Structure 1
Amino acid sequence: MNRTDLTRRSTLMLLGAGAGLVAAPYVIRPARAQSKVVNITTYDKFVPQSFIEQFQKDTGIEVRVRLTDDQGKQYNLLSAEGGAPTTDIVTVTGHRLSQFLKSDLLVPLDVARIGNFGNLAAAYKGAPQLTIDGKVYGVPLLAGFEGLARNTEYTKPTETWGYMFEDEFKGLTSYIISDFLSIVMKYQGNDGDYVTYEGKPEIAQAATDKARDFLIANKDKVRKYYDAGSEVQQMFLNEDIYLAQTWSGPAAKLIMDGHPIALSIPKEGTYGFLYSFNIVKNAPNADAAYIFLNAMLASPEIGAAMTRQSGFNSAFGGVDKLLTDRERAALALPQEQVERIQFFSSVNRQMKNDMIDKATAEIKAA
C-alpha cells in the first residue's frame, strides 16, 4: 500500500483561494433487512438539512445521520461492529485513512457509479489525495487546518503561538489537548506529526514529554479543554475565552456570522487535513450510499451550503463563485500563512496516536 499523504500543493491552492440546519442525530439500527435507507456517520453541520430533505423526497431513501466529534470514536465503533456494521458512510480524515484501511473497514469506491464525480474542484479531480494503488477510497468533502483564533476586541494581532501562554490570558484560552500538543511540539521546534520519528521512539518520546510538561506548566492559562467545535464557538460568544487553538471551520463560521473573531496561522506553522465520505465494508445499504454520494456532488450549491454551515473549504467545483465577499474573506488566508500549513501524514500514525493519547491523559490528570 502506498502512503496516503495529501497532494500538498493542490490542496493549499484550494485553501488559499477561499473556497442551515444539521440533520438531527438518529439512533441507527442494524439495517440488514432495510431498503431505501442510508446510514451516515459524520460531523455536526457537514450535511445540509435542506439537501437531505430534497434527497429523501426525490429518491424515497431515508437518510439517518449519527453525529461524531472524533475520528478515534468512529474507528473504534466500526472495529467493534466487525463484519456487521450499522453505518454505510463514514467521514474520515486523510491522515487517518490508512488506519481504517489497515483494519479492513472501508472498500474502494466504484467511481463509475458516481456520475458526478467529475464535479470536484480542480485540486481534487480524480481524488488523488484518496487514491491508493490505483483505487479511490473516498469522496473529498472539506479541507481545513488548525489555527489560532482570537477575539479582536480583547487581543492584538500576533505572529506566534506563544501568545496563548501570555500571563494576561490566564483562564482565557482553550484548546483540544491532543491537537494542540502536536502544535506545541512544532512551536518547540520538534516534529508534531512524528514522521521523522519513525523507528526513533526515544527521540519521539522526549519531544512528546517536553510538550506535555510545557502544557502542564501553563495549565493556568486554560479556561477549558474542549472536544467539539460548537463548544469553542460558544465560549467565544460568551466571552469566556479570548484565544483558542481551533479547527478552521468553527472559527471561520463565527467570522462569516459577523462576530469579532480573527483566524491566523502563526509563524511556527500548523497542520492541515482533508475530510472525505467513505463507504464502509459490508455496508448494509451500499446501493443507497452510492445514490447519496452522486446526489451530493450534483451541484456547487450543495458544496456552498456545506461550507456555510461548517466553515471549512469545500472540495466541490464552483463553490467559490457562490460565496459572498464576507464568506470568501473568512475562508481565505494570506499566501505566506497558507505556506505554513503542513498537511497531516499517514506515516508513523500508531506511534503518534499512542504517545499523544498517553500525554493527553497525563495533562488532564496533572
Structure 2
Amino acid sequence: MKLTTIGALALSTALGAGTALADGAALTVFDWSGYEDQGFFGAYMEKHGTAPTYTFFGSQEEAFTKLQSGFEADLAHPCSDAVRKWVAADLLQPLDSSKLNNWNAMLAEIKDVDGIVIDGNVYMMPFEWGNTGLIYRTDKIADDQISLQLLADPAYQGKISIPDAASSAYALASLATGNAADYTKLNDEQFQQASDYLRSIHPNIRFYWSDAGQMDQAMASGELEMGWAWNQSELNLIWNETPAKMMRDVDKGIATWVCGYVHLKSSTTPVDQIYDHLNALSDAASGQYIIENWGYPHANAKAYEISDQDLITQYGFDDPKAFFEGSLFFDAVDPALEAKMLKEFERIKAGF
C-alpha cells in the first residue's frame, strides 16, 4: 500500500513538473537489487519527482571490480567491511556530516562500526543492518536438529544454498569451524579448516545464489530446505506462509553486518541532490518502512519509536547491542587473506 501511495505521488509530481522527472533520474545509484524500492526515499521523490537511476550488483566483490574497471555512479551501497578497501583504491570521497540531517540520530553502536569513519572522515552513511544466518524449513528440520554442521549431511544433497560471495561463505565456514573470532585474520590452519568445510557442503549445494529472491522461491517451493541468507529472506518466507525461520542461537553461529551509502569519486550530480537522497534514506520514516516491510533494522534510532512495537519486539530490534554481542561481525578482512578467500572459493565452486 505504501509503495502505491508513493508511486502515485511521484507520478503526479512528474506530470505536474516535467523538468523534475529528468532531475530526479539524473542521480545514479549502484546498489543491491531491491533497494530501488521507493519506500526507502519518499522525501527524495517528493522533492525531485522521480526515482534515481539504478544499476545493480550481486556481491561486493563484483561491485568493486566493476568500479575499478571504470564504471561511474554517484552513490553506491557497500557494507562496512568493504569501505576501507574502497577508500584505499581511491574510489570514495568523504561525506560532510554537517549535511547529513540525521547523522546525530544514528544509533551509537552503528556509528562506532569500523569503516563508517576512517581517519576522522565519514565515508559511509549507515542505512540498514542485520543478520546473515541459517534459514531452514521448520516442517523438514527440527529446532534441536538444526546446525551449521547439518549443511554437510549427505541427506541434504541438492537441498541447500549459500551466497555466491567469498566473504559470506568464509564467515559461514569460520563459524562452523569455531574460528569466528579470527574471521578477519585466519591463519593457514584455520583457513584450511574453513576451506575444507566449504568443500564438504559443496555436493549439497543446489546453487550459489546472487539474488536472494532466487533462494526464497526455491525454499518456498520445497526445492531447498536450508539456506545461508539475510533477515529479509526469513520474513519473505513467513509472509508467504512458508514454515521457515532463521537459527539465531549465537552459540550455533550467526553473523551481523552494517551496510550504507558512499559517495563515489566518479559522481557528477550536484552535491545538494546527493544529500537530498542520503537524507531521505536516513530519515526515520525510511527506517519505519524498512523495519515494517523488509524486516531489517535501520540506522536511525528514531525509527524504532514510530514503528510497530510488536514487530520491534518480535524481530529483537529492541536491544541493538544483543545483535552485535556473540555473533560474527563482518569487519574488513586482511587484504592478503581476502585474496586467498576469493581464489579458493572459485576453486571450491568449480569442484576442486
So what's the TM-score if we normalise by structure 1? 0.78
SS of residue paired to 2:141 = coil
Structure 1 residues not aligned, in runs of 5+: 1-19, 24-33, 198-202
1 CA distance for matches of 2:199 and 2:241?
34
* 1:74 correspondence with 2:59: no
Deviations 1:189-243 (CA, angstroms, capped at 9, x unpaired)? 335854344xxxxx42x43333333433443322222222111111111111111
What's 1:224 paired with?
A: 207
Matched to 1:68, the amino acid is F
Task: Summarize the alignment of residues 107-118 of structure 1 with structure 2, pairs less than 5 Å apart.
Answer: 107-118=93-104
SS of residue paired to 1:313 = coil
**Hey, which of these two has a bigger chunk of helix by percent?**
2
What's 2:150 paired with?
A: 163
Q: CA deviation at 1:355?
A: 1.4
2 CA distance for matches of 1:359 and 1:127?
28
* 1:314 correspondence with 2:298: yes
1 CA distance for matches of 2:159 and 2:111?
42
Q: CA deviation at 1:253?
A: 3.6
Among candidates 285, 288, 293, match of residue 301 of structure 1: 285
2 CA distance for matches of 1:247 and 1:162?
19
SS of residue paired to 1:285 = coil
Q: 1:333 to 1:191 in 2, by over 3 A?
A: same
Matched to 2:61, the amino acid is G
Q: CA deviation at 1:169?
A: 2.2
* Count of residue pairs brought into register by the alignment: 326
Q: Select between 215-224 and 65-74 the one with higher mean Cα deviation.
A: 215-224
1 CA distance for matches of 2:327 and 2:177?
16
SS of residue paired to 2:93 = coil
Matched to 2:97, the amino acid is V
1 CA distance for matches of 2:230 and 2:194?
20
Identity over the aligned pairs, expressed in percent? Answer: 18
Q: CA deviation at 1:101?
A: 0.3
What's 2:171 paired with?
A: 182
Deviations 1:21-68 (CA, angstroms, capped at 9, x unpaired)? 899xxxxxxxxxx96521111122334324556623423475112222
Deviations 1:277-298 (CA, angstroms, capped at 9, x unpaired)? 1111141014211121123333
Among candidates 76, 95, 98, match of residue 90 of structure 1: 76
What's 1:49 paired with?
A: 38
1 CA distance for matches of 2:51 and 2:318?
39
Task: Summarize the alignment of residues 1-366 of structure 1 with structure 2, pairs less than 5 Å apart.
Answer: 20=3, 37-50=26-39, 52=41, 55-60=44-49, 63-81=52-70, 86-124=72-110, 130-158=116-144, 160-176=147-163, 178=166, 179-190=168-179, 194-197=183-186, 203-204=187-188, 206-266=189-249, 267-287=251-271, 288-298=273-283, 300-321=284-305, 322-323=307-308, 325-326=310-311, 328-330=313-315, 339-348=325-334, 350-366=335-351
Q: CA deviation at 1:309?
A: 4.4
Q: Select between 309-318 and 286-295 the one with higher mean Cα deviation.
A: 309-318
SS of residue paired to 1:283 = coil
Q: CA deviation at 1:91?
A: 0.5
Matched to 1:242, the amino acid is E
The 8 Å contact of residues 282 and 299 in structure 2, kept in 1 or not, is answered as no
Matched to 2:254, the amino acid is T
Q: CA deviation at 1:183?
A: 1.9
Q: Select between 49-58 and 267-276 the one with higher mean Cα deviation.
A: 49-58
- Higher relative CO (Cα under 8 Å, sequence separation at least 6) belongs to 1
Q: 1:62 to 1:142 in 2, by over 3 A?
A: closer
The 8 Å contact of residues 48 and 309 in structure 1, kept in 2 or not, is answered as no
Q: Select between 207-216 and 151-160 the one with higher mean Cα deviation.
A: 207-216
What's 2:12 paired with?
A: none
Q: 1:239 to 1:146 in 2, by over 3 A?
A: same
The 8 Å contact of residues 165 and 221 in structure 1, kept in 2 or not, is answered as yes
The 8 Å contact of residues 115 and 124 in structure 2, kept in 1 or not, is answered as no
Matched to 2:148, the amino acid is W
So what's the TM-score if we normalise by structure 2? 0.81
Q: 1:340 to 1:194 in 2, by over 3 A?
A: closer
Matched to 2:263, the amino acid is I
2 CA distance for matches of 1:146 and 1:194?
15
Q: CA deviation at 1:256?
A: 4.8
Structure 2 residues not aligned, in runs of 5+: 8-21
2 CA distance for matches of 1:336 and 1:327?
13
What's 1:6 paired with?
A: none
1 CA distance for matches of 2:277 and 2:237?
29
Matched to 1:291, the amino acid is D
Matched to 1:185, the amino acid is S
